[in-house]
Copies of this chain bind each other. A is one copy, B any other.
Amino acid sequence: MDLQPIPDMNETDSVPPIFEPLCAVFRRRLKADGQKYTPERARVLDAVIRMEGPFEAEQLVEDLRASGYRVSKATIYRTIKLMQDAGIVQRVLGGDDVPRYQMIYGAKPDDTIVRVDTDEVISIDIPELIELRDKICAKYGLSPSSHRFQIFATGNDA
């Protein structure tokens, strides 16, 4: 996922969904609920955007601290929850059962084989899946923002 500009705090309006900067998506959603796009929330969003692939909440804490920002854990978790409501991130479990968060808004697809005998996770690339996905969503009148495909498998001997 590419870099986003540092979130600005200016006015918002309607822009084509998928190409709209994330901060605008987030801000719009907050506004709709009578909530505010605060500096803390902007920093958490910024840290989330910088993450590549699934990340732990603790990484956000460290990242922000390393950037010289002090945002409390409570605010980080509260912001994550807001971002979930806004359809920006999702909570997921890795093969190691560690809870992580993951961008789902406009994120790269996440296709993996999980080897249940070794816990190894193999990333695979299946372009056909996107086609299939979009076709299915169209049938339901929905707009896909991302997907996740996990195959559970073992070695042929196990």
Contacts and interface: CB of A to CB of B under 8 A. Distances in A.
| Copies of this chain, whole number | 2
B152 A147 contact: yes
Contacts of A152: 87, 90, 104, 144-148
Contacts of A91: 93, 97
A92, A99, A113 pick with most chain B CB within 10 angstroms: A113
Interface in A136-156: 136-137, 140-156
A133 interface: yes
B116 A90 contact: yes
Interface stretch (A39-47, A62-70, A123-131): A123-131
A6 interface: no
A126 B129 CA distance: 11
Interface string A85-118: 1010011110001010000100000000111110
A128 B132 contact: yes
A79 interface: no
16 contacts: A87-B116, A87-B154, A99-B99, A104-B116, A113-B137, A113-B140, A116-B145, A128-B132, A129-B132, A140-B153, A143-B154, A143-B156, A143-B158, A147-B149, A148-B148, A149-B150
Interface of A: 17, 84-85, 87, 90-93, 97, 99, 104, 113-117, 122, 124, 126, 128-129, 132-133, 136-137, 140-156, 158
